[in-house]
């Protein structure tokens, strides 16, 4: 009797010692979060002719490893072993379940296999593959077509030690009660984790500096030659008055102050204020300008844009947001002019050209924001803006004596770099 007791104790010691060794020598390739159910059902699936692990012994290993797991049920997944699509996927896993391969590249892509994984409900599928002295494993549940966890341990013929090692690597931790059929139906229509964490509204405020000009890059200069070479004679005469760039220098630094927001990281709006300064293009050969000290215009624009965007996480602290917008604006020109000291303004000075009270227009832009630590952003964008006035007004009989209103259609492009602060509501 003593000999039997000693033999039993020795065998128990050896078994547990190997389980500890296997767990210590085992290696997890990856492990993403998953729920540990109480009283779980585990389907053992292996491409080998015989499963390398005993189902009943594994159920006992689960109880020994996790006291809160309840009464686990473990069986061979015969329906998986008999399915041809699953067999092909299992054979593919045998060759590709390696330490350097991430979970997303091990995703099941055949629709038949995806349906079987989705049909697991709250069961687990444990894939086992014996290769010489190594046992590779992967755990699936219904939440993903990729394995939730995978790793390897040294293989042993001792089924108890083998089961203990896998149980410790995959099934340790707190457990949750399995849902009833009714509870599963309700959970299926609940918002997912990403939706619940997604802020409904994100807002930002920014200030940008840039440059604006009439000529769009990479377009022929001949399209703009007439207006860009035009000069003002006698305070009002130019080749034509359709575009403000016949009268003003088109190139200018640009200041833009804006505030905006997006709903659900997709559709948003932005209110903006833009400012630029433009010198009048006078004909220096015209002696009438001997009296002139300076002549320039300040352009102020306010508007609102509709914006579409897409949020792309690049890093836990860096997010890229490509965006495109279309909007409308109101444009105002404020004149700054004066004669030299001692000069009395001429009649031409008093009847010089003038802009309309305001112009209506549209703005298009594309760009991208880089957001750091959810709050600090850098925005680069480029676009086109145009503004004008209705040109079908009947001419006045006093038109010769009146100042000439200009700017029927004025278009320019711009590029800007902005610095922003973001917050969520």
pLDDT at 405: 64
Contact 255, 418 (CB under 8 A): no
Closest CA to 116 of 147, 80, 84: 80
pLDDT at 12: 44
Contact 62, 184 (CB under 8 A): no
Q: Which residues contact 107 (CB under 8 A, 6 or more apart)?
A: 144, 145, 146
What's the pLDDT tens digit per position in 360-399? 999 999 999 999 998 999 999 999 999 987 654 544 545 4
pLDDT at 395: 47
Choose the weakest-confidence range: 53-57, 308-312, 385-389, 402-406. 402-406
Q: Up-side HSE of residue 410: CA atoms within 13 Å toward CB? A: 30
Residue 95 phi, psi (nearest 5): -95, -15
Helical axes 84-96 vs 111-118, angle rounded to 10°: 90
Average pLDDT, stretch 193-215? Answer: 83
Instruction: Work out whether strand 41-45 and strand 124-131 pair parallel, antiparallel, or are unpaired.
Output: parallel
pLDDT at 21: 46
pLDDT of 18 strictly over 60: no
Q: How many C-beta atoms surround the C-beta of residue 79 within 10 A? A: 12
Cβ-based burial of 234 (10 A; exposed 0-12, middle 13-18, buried ≥19):
middle
What's the pLDDT tens digit per position in 242-281? 899 999 999 999 999 999 999 988 999 999 999 999 999 9
Average pLDDT, stretch 273-291? Answer: 94
Average pLDDT, stretch 82-95? Answer: 93
The model's confidence at residue 400, banded by pLDDT at 50, 70 and 90, is: very low
Q: How many C-beta atoms surround the C-beta of residue 374 within 10 A? A: 15
The full set of domains in the chain, from first to last, is: 14-190 (3.40.50), 197-424 (2.40.160.20)
Reduce the DSSP state of residue 142 to 3 states and report it.
coil
Average pLDDT, stretch 116-130? Answer: 93
pLDDT at 416: 98
The model's confidence at residue 189, banded by pLDDT at 50, 70 and 90, is: low
Bridge partner residues of 277 (DSSP): 298
């Amino acid at each position: 009797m003593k000999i039997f007791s000693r033999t039993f104790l020795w065998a128990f010691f050896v078994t547990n010692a190997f389980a500890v060794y296997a767990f210590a020598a085992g290696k997890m390739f990856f492990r993403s979060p998953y729920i540990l159910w109480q009283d779980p059902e585990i389907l053992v699936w292996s491409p080998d002719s015989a499963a390398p692990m005993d189902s009943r012994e594994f159920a006992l290993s689960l109880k020994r490893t996790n006291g809160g797991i309840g009464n686990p049920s473990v069986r061979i997944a015969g329906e998986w072993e008999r399915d041809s699509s699953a067999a092909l996927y299992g054979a593919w896993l045998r060759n590709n379940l390696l330490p350097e391969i991430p979970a997303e590249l091990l995703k099941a892509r055949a629709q038949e296999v995806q349906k079987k994984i989705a049909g697991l409900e709250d069961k687990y599928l444990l894939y086992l593959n014996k290769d010489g002295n190594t046992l590779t494993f992967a755990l699936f549940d219904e939440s993903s077509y990729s394995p939730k966890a995978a790793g390897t341990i040294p293989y042993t013929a001792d089924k108890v030690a083998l089961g203990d090692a896998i149980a410790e690597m995959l099934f340790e931790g707190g457990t949750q009660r399995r849902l009833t059929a009714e509870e599963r139906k309700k959970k299926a229509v609940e918002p997912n984790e990403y939706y619940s964490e997604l802020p409904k509204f994100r807002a930002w405020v920014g200030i940008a500096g840039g440059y604006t000009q009439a000529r769009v890059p990479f377009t022929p200069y001949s399209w703009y030659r007439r207006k860009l070479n035009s000069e003002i004679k006698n305070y009002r005469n130019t080749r034509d008055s359709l575009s403000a760039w016949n009268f003003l220098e088109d190139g200018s630094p640009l200041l833009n102050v804006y505030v905006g927001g997006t709903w659900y990281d997709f559709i948003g709006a932005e209110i903006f204020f833009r400012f630029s300064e433009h010198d009048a293009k006078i004909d220096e050969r015209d002696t009438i300008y001997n009296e002139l000290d300076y002549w320039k215009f300040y352009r102020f624009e306010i508007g609102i844009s509709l914006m579409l965007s897409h949020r792309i996480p690049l890093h836990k602290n860096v997010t890229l947001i490509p965006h495109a917008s279309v909007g409308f604006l109101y444009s105002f020109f404020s004149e700054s002019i004066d004669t030299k000291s001692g000069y009395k303004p001429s009649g031409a000075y008093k009847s010089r050209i003038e802009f309309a009270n305001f112009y209506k227009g549209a703005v298009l832009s594309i760009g991208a924001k880089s957001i750091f630590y959810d709050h600090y952003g850098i925005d680069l964008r480029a676009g086109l803006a145009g503004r004008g006035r209705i040109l079908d007004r009947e001419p006045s009989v006093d038109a010769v004596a009146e100042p000439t209103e200009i700017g029927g259609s004025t278009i320019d492009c711009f590029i800007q770099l902005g610095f922003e602060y973001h917050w969520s509501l």
